[in-house]
Amino acid sequence: MKTTFKTVVGAGVIAASVLGATAAQAAETIKVGVLHSLSGTMAISETTLKDTVLMMIDEQNKKGGLLGKKLEAVVVDPASNWPLFAEKTRELISKENVNVIFGCWTSVSRKSVLPVVEELNGMLFYPVQYEGEESSRNVFYTGAAPNQQAIPAVDYLLSKDGGEAKRIVLLGTDYVYPRTTNKILRSYLNAKGIADADIMENYTPFGHSDWQTIVSDVKKFASTGKKTAVVSTINGDANVPFYKELANQGIKAEDIPVVAFSVGEEELAGLDTGPLVGHLAAWNYFMSVKAPENDAFIKTWKAFIKDNKRVTNDPMEATYIGFKMWVQAVEQAGTTDVDAVRQAMYGQKVPNLTGGMAVMNTNHHLSKPVLIGEIQDNGQFDIVWNTDGEVVGDAWSDFLPESAKLTADWTYPWVCGNCEKPKYAAK
Amino acid sequence: MFQKVFKARWSLVMALSAALFLATPAMADDFADAVQGLNAEGYAEKGQAIEALAAVGDDRSVAVLGALMEGNLFVRAADGRVLIARESGSVYLMTDPVTGEAMDEAAEDAIEKIRINNKLRGQLKGVLGAMTLMSSDAAKRLSAADEVFKAGDPAILPILERALAREDIADVKTRLIRARAAIVLEHGTDAPARIEAAKVLSEFTDPDVVALLGKLAFMDGQGQPVEQDAAVFNAVKDAHQSVEAKLAQWAMLGNVFQGVSLGSVLLLAAVGLAITFGVMGVINMAHGEMVMLGAYTTFMVQEVFRTHFPGAFDWSLAVAVPAAFLVTGAVGMVIERGVIRHLYGRPLETLLATWGVSLILQQVVRTIFGPTNQEVGNPSWMSGAIETSTGLVLTYNRIWIIVFSLMVLGMLALVARKTLFGLQMRAVTQNRAMASSMGIRSGWVDALTFALGSGIAGMAGVALSQIDNVSPNLGQAYIIDSFMVVVFGGVGNLWGTLVGAFSLGILNKFLEPYAGAVLGKILVLVGIILFIQKRPRGLFALKGRAVES
């Protein structure tokens, strides 16, 4: 018994010294947390973002690091397991003492991380388009809000160039992002004069693979003579069988165009896009955009990943912009302290890869351009429409009555993510 | 505005007819100018340029507009000339659209593609359709007739009449009649002719016809009929109803097909499990990963075909099926010898161990191939669909999967009934001690049986790679469905698996339109749980002593 006790104490001492050693080392580097699933369902999308952050860190270190220190990535694997995202966040902030985390893909993982970063005052950069209706003091949203993706896309479908659609099918995976987005879209469509009878809404489970019935339902819905278009918030793995079924059942983009919010270059990589030419996607970035920044980014990426066939996509650009902004803010603040960097973040500007400037607003969302592209037979998108300038990301949708009156602004006098009036306004 | 368009269309018709009958090679400069006009800024301007080019009435415009449609029409950056160019390796081979002569090669950044959108694509199809109505190739005339029907452009009517007069192939003729009736009904002014057209259209059982009739058969926002003429309105309404009723019957048939198709996928996924779980009693959570490995074997085989025998790509699946069987069979045997044989009779531990194996296999595949989807191509005989004109679409890949699943089941039944190994397999599972004392090496039979079950799962993977993602998660999607089918059909009975798979598939497909995909699945699951309460051994229960043990 005694010996056991001694061993335990001994082990404890060793463990403590090991921990001490890592802490001493940490003083010489700046730690950057990377919280993306490397296994499980979401690994397909998130691994790319982990590699993007590693590439950005690599680039920054080649330039001499940050504040005279080297950057060090702390990569953890939350394994597509939503509660594990919260645990890993706690581990990153409390144990690894990281001051910034790049991570999450699905909204449910972000929602699970949210209470932890708020409790421990961390800083999360979230790089994926999402449903909005959120603004946390501790999160910077570098992906698109609904008014930067969904609303312009529907506008395009209703426009002359987009085919003047009169009936809309809303297809989605059954979870928070599609349901909220479609709620916003439905009220927007109603405001545009499209009645509920002309809107079909359908939800399918994650990883749904048998699309026969739904695709033929869409065909039937389209056979009333009114121009019909599909808005797809189908997420992840389910897209490949969905598009295969569309192609096989001969739904051509000229007859029923499908505009998707979660299908980018990476998702098309596993598909023969020949029969899908003309179907659409709305993003803030496409790999096919010809711009010097984009060419350089693609070149760096292909060299870093050592694969000439790999593609780039929108969440990668969002990660790129977020990382650059954080670096600029740290340089400006002269420290990585979360509270100081947060103040320095507001108004930070980083050139978009597609041209123009991305600006971080006080509601923690970016101003970005919106692009709509048509799928080509080489798996890339041709841009058919884009906004004139940058669109300011809107945390609370103007098309839902209960959130239209909310404001997110983290500077004085508001200092609030969901308030109807400023917190500190003079009386 | 309208008049202008109308005029432009008329000039198009005149020019087209001129081109078709006189084939004058004159107006070369007009043609060159019109081609150059395609290099316009906006989509609306491009649309006008397309119309202008068609109006020139030159045979060469078919090639130019075709190239625009396919994305092969470019603008040279240096001098802004419009050219046809085809990608060849890292360079583009350019052709002069006016002379048709080959020009120099160009690098990718020296030329820029003329982009089109869906609207222009639709317009191009209509224009090209009108131009190919008189083509000597019957297949081209057929698709041209369909495109003309979809475009519904009244300016085409005179050409359509002429094409109709000289058409002698019945199938093409029907499509032409349909196109003519559609245009007369929608744009005509003569009421009796329009009523006649509505009658003609009511003979077609076709979703596109319903769409067209639907345009005129409904009330507008103010509750007024869209169609002003009451007699025409009634005729359209009758036609709409009759076509829709016919379509509904075909939709029913389509539903059955979809159910059978889903059933065949379930059957494929479950049939391997029917051996490992049904016959051997091993709760094999790594079953889905065997399916996944089969799909990855298909990918590997196709890679070899792509690099070494690109011409024989259509045969890749014929090689992939035995390859997948051998690979997954071997993996199955290793798992049985390495893990499962130590755990016979301990179902809980088997469950956990095979669950662990499944995670290991997934991560191994993820490490080797990466987490992203791999592209598995459909051979040409599995792409596309039989599109009957009734709105019933039978996709080839689904049809082949139904056939394949039945073949796999049939072969398995043959092996179990007619071979020595099958006999030994049945003997060991029914009474191990007795079989051993008869001189059967029961350990070997176990290993081979497990390998057989795994190999069949691998073959299922080949089929599923044609309709689903090939990613490390492929197997997880099927494991629960497979267990459901085996338990529902009756453990240890191949017929049960067959009937179980097809009835679950059809049930699912009939519930889906009413309940939605999510609720439909839940209802099926609840139904099975209730069924198992009533009949714990499933649909086809094995009887006899073996069961009691």
B150–A244 C-beta distance less than 8 A: no
Look at residue B13 in the predicted model and tell me its pLDDT.
Answer: 52
Contacts 24+ apart (CB under 8 A), B338-346: B340/B282, B340/B284, B340/B450, B341/B443, B341/B446, B341/B447, B344/B282, B344/B446
Which chain B residues are closer than 8 Å to A213 by Cβ? 255, 258, 509, 512-513, 517
* Residue A212 with chain B: CB contacts under 8 Å: 258, 261-262, 398, 509
Q: How far is CA A233 from the centre of its chain?
A: 13
β pairing state of B82-88 and B91-95: antiparallel
Contact between B121 and A253 using a beta-carbon 8 Å cutoff: yes
| B:44-103 residues touching chain A, CB 8 A cutoff | 44, 71
User: For residues B58-84, b (16+ Cβ closer than 10 Å) or e, as one string?
Assistant: bebbbbbbbbbbebbbbbbeeeebbbb
Would you say B270 and B284 are in contact if contact means Cβ atoms under 8 Å apart?
no
Q: Determine the distance in angstroms separating the CA of A41 from the nearest CA of chain B, rounded to an integer.
A: 6
- Is the minimum CB–CB distance between B258 and chain A shorter than 8 Å? yes
ipTM > 0.85 (yes/no): no
The structure tokens listed for B172 are 């093409």
Q: Does B125 touch chain A (CB under 8 A)?
A: yes
Q: How far apart are the first and last CA of chain B?
A: 86
Tell me the C-alpha distance between A264 and A286, whole Å. 8
Alpha carbon B233 to its chain's center: 37
- Give the sheet arrangement for strand A167-173, strand by strand: A199-204, A167-173, A228-233, A258-260, A280-283, A371-375, A381-386
Collapsing DSSP states into helix, strand and coil, what is residue A157?
helix
Residue type, A400: L
pLDDT at position B90 is: 78
Is pLDDT larger for residue A168 or for residue B132?
Answer: A168
Mean pLDDT of the A289-300 span: 94
Chain A residue at shortest CA distance from B207: A223
Closest CA to B145 of B117, B170, B121: B170
Q: How far does the CA of residue B387 sit from the closest CA of chain A (Å)?
A: 8
Yes or no, beta carbons of A376 and B214 under 8 Å apart: no
Question: Tell me, what's the pLDDT at A20?
Answer: 44
**For residue A223, what are its two tokens?**
């056979």
CB contact under 8 A, B518 and A203: yes
B362 in reach of chain A (CB within 8 A): yes
Write out pLDDT tens, residues A16-40: 444 444 444 445 899 999 999 988 7
Could you say which residues from 465 to 484 on chain B have a Cβ atom under 8 Å away from some Cβ of chain A? 467-473, 476-477
Q: Which of B71, B150, B214 sits opposite A224 (nearest CB)?
A: B214
Measured CA to CA, the distance from residue B214 to residue B229 in angstroms comes to 16
**Nearest-by-Cβ selection for B125 from A212, A254, A383:** A254
pLDDT at residue number A426: 62
CA distance A253 to chain B (A): 6
Chain A residues whose CB is inside 8 A of the B207 CB are 219-220, 223
Distance from CA of A35 to the nearest CA of B (A): 16
Asked if B444 reaches chain A (Cβ–Cβ under 8 Å), the answer is no
8 Å CB contact of A208 and B517: yes
Q: Return the higher-pLDDT residue of A223 and A72.
A: A72
The predicted structure's pLDDT at residue A22: 47
Partners of B71 on chain A (C-beta within 8 Å) are 277, 376-377
**Cβ of B208 and A174 within 8 Å?**
no
**The two structure tokens encoding residue A322:** 């977020």
Question: Which residues in chain A touch residue B469, judged by CB atoms under 8 angstroms apart?
Answer: 209, 237, 240-241, 270
Distance of CA B532 to the CA centre of its chain: 35
DSSP for residue B219 = B
Report which of A141, A376, A162, A64 is spatially closest to residue B120, judged by C-alpha positions. Answer: A162
Residue of B nearest to A385 (CA): B117
User: Distance between CA atoms of A199 and A318, rounded to whole angstroms?
Assistant: 32
- Which domains, and CATH codes, for chain A? 31-144+291-368 (3.40.50.2300), 148-288+374-401 (3.40.50.2300)
Q: What is the mean pLDDT of residues A312-323?
A: 96
Q: A44, A80, A262: which to substitute to probe chain B, counting the most B Cβ within 10 Å?
A: A44
Highest mean pLDDT among A342-351, A383-392, B217-226: A342-351
Give the DSSP H/E element, type plus range, for residue B84. Answer: strand B82-88
* Terminal Cα-to-Cα distance of chain A (whole angstroms): 69
Say whether A143 sits in a helix, a strand or coil.
coil
Residue among B255, B265, B518 whose CB faces A174 most closely: B518
Long-range contact pairs involving B404-407 (C-beta distance under 8 Å, separation at least 24) = B404/B264, B404/B268, B404/B463, B405/B264, B405/B265, B405/B267, B405/B268, B405/B271, B405/B463, B406/B264
A140: left (phi over 0), alpha (psi -120 to 50) or beta: beta
Number of A–B residue contacts, CB under 8 Å: 167
Query: B254 and A161: CB-CB below 8 Å?
Result: no
| Residue B314, burial from CB neighbour count under 10 angstroms (0-12, 13-18, 19+) | middle
CB contact under 8 A, B395 and A248: yes
Q: Is A425 exposed, middle or buried (0-12, 13-18, 19+ CB in 10 A)?
A: exposed
As a dihedral over the C-alpha atoms of residue B122, residue B125, residue B127, residue B128, rounded to 10 degrees, the angle is 160
Cα distance between residue A127 and residue A103, in whole Å? 7
In chain B, residues with a C-beta closer than 8 Å to the C-beta of A249 are: 385, 393, 395
Alpha helices in A135-225 (DSSP H): 150-158, 176-191, 212-221
**What pLDDT sits at residue B4?**
47
Comparing CA positions, the residue from A136, A184, A154 lying closest to residue A398 is A184
How confident is the model at residue A27, as a pLDDT? 54
Q: How many Cβ atoms are within 10 Å of A108's Cβ, its own excluded?
A: 14
Q: For A138-147, what is each residue's pLDDT tens digit? A: 999 999 999 9
Q: Is the peptide bond before A413 cis (omega within 30 degrees of 0)?
A: yes
How many residues are present in chain B?
Answer: 549
Do A270 and B372 lie within an 8 Å CB cutoff?
A: yes
B335: helix, coil or strand?
helix
Beta carbons of A210 and B366 less than 8 Å apart: no
A364: left (phi over 0), alpha (psi -120 to 50) or beta: left
Q: How far apart, in whole angstroms, are the C-alpha atoms of residue A324 and residue A316? A: 12
Does the beta-carbon distance from B255 to A241 stay under 8 Å? no
**pLDDT winner (highest mean) among A41-55, A308-322, B113-127:** A308-322
> Which chain B residue shows the shortest CA-CA distance from A47?
B371
A43 neighbourhood in chain B, CB within 8 Å: 366, 371, 472
A33: Cα separation from own chain's centroid: 17
B71: three-class secondary structure by DSSP? coil
What's the angle, vertex CA B235, arms to CA B229 and CA B236, rounded to 5?
A: 85
Residue A243, φ and ψ in degrees, nearest 5: -70, -35
Spatial CA neighbour of A150 closest among A38, A291, A282, A315? A282
The whole-angstrom separation of Cα B397 and Cα B233 is: 42
From the list A47, A216, A384, the residue facing B371 with the nearest CB is: A47
- Report in angstroms the alpha-carbon separations of B444 from A318, A363, B273, B341, B420: 56, 67, 19, 11, 13
Residues of A with CB below 8 A from B122's CB? 254-255
Q: Coil, helix or strand for B86?
A: strand
Q: How far is B118 from chain A (nearest CA, A)?
A: 5
Across A204-224, average pLDDT: 86
Q: How far is it, in rounded angstroms, from Cα B455 to Cα B268?
A: 12
User: Which residue in B71, B121, B395 is closest to A249 by CB distance?
Assistant: B395
CB-CB under 8 Å, B118 with A382: no
To the nearest whole angstrom, how far is the Cα of A252 from the nearest Cα of chain B?
9
Chain A residues touching B117 at Cβ < 8 A: 161-162, 278, 374, 384
**Residues A225, B518: C-beta atoms closer than 8 Å:** no
The pLDDT tens digits along chain B (549 residues) read: 444 444 445 555 555 544 444 444 445 578 888 888 888 888 888 999 998 888 887 778 888 898 898 888 999 888 888 889 888 777 888 888 888 888 888 888 888 888 888 888 888 888 888 888 888 888 888 888 888 888 878 888 888 888 888 888 888 888 889 888 888 888 888 888 888 888 888 888 877 788 788 777 776 656 667 777 888 888 888 888 888 888 888 888 888 998 999 999 999 989 999 888 877 888 899 999 999 999 999 999 999 998 998 888 889 999 999 999 999 999 999 999 999 999 988 889 999 999 999 999 999 998 898 877 788 888 888 887 887 767 778 888 899 999 999 999 999 999 988 999 999 988 888 888 888 898 889 889 999 999 999 999 999 999 999 888 888 888 888 898 899 999 898 877 888 899 999 999 999 888 888 888 888 889 999 999 999 898 888 888 766 545 444
Asked if residues A240 and B227 have their Cβ atoms less than 8 Å apart, the reply is no
Give the pLDDT mean for A63-87: 94
**Residue A30 and residue A72 in contact, taking contact as beta carbons nearer than 8 Å:** yes
The nearest CA of chain B is from the CA of A289 a distance in Å of 12
Of B150, B208, B262, Cβ closest to residue A210: B262
* Neighboring chain A residues of B44 at a CB cutoff of 8 Å: 160-161
Contact A248 B384 (CB under 8 A): yes
